[in-house]
Homo-oligomer: A and B are copies of this chain.
Amino acid sequence: MPSIKLKPIGSVHNGIRKKMREGWESVVSEIVLSPEYEEGLEGIEEYSHVLVLFWLSRVPQNARGRRLRIHPRSRGDLPRVGIFSTRTQYRPNPIGLTQVRLLKRERNILRVKGLDALNGTPVLDIKPISPRTEFPPKVQVPDWVHRLWGKKPPKAAIPRPRGKA
């Protein structure tokens, strides 16, 4: 199969230079897109959550998919499972994917909460959550999304109370 070329659209700014095991959910990051893409963000501030696709640039080329089974988070008490059954960064194509809370947009900059990416990580794509299949605990989407999918708001777009499901 032919190889595929991607070009980053921006990068992550959060001052975090070392991998953390825990605590990412409270990290606030700025995703700074190349200024040429600013217009492409129009209307994104109407979403509560977005998906960020980023390039795990610290994974060496020769570590990509070299091991096909791992203990999740190197925990020996958990079973060894296939890499595609985990979110490990050591994947054949090390693309990170995280659903984050969108706090603010200013021009070409998104301020987000919960992005587990180091400072300087190249960003490949920003996608809105799709309430038809992807359900954060409390979700908000633009009015046009309701109109796109019919008169009744999709089920997931009705905010559920936080806490117990």
Contact = CB atoms under 8 A, between A and B. Distances in A.
Contact of A42 (B69, B75, B128): B69
Interface residues of A, number: 72
Main SS at interface, chain A: mixed
Number of copies: 2
A15 interface: no
Interface string A23-57: 00100000000000101111110110011010100
B85 A128 contact: yes
A98 B39 contact: no
A25 B11 CA distance: 33
Interface string A1-26: 10111111101000000000000010
Interface in A70-124: 72-73, 75, 77-87, 91-93, 95, 97-99, 114, 122, 124
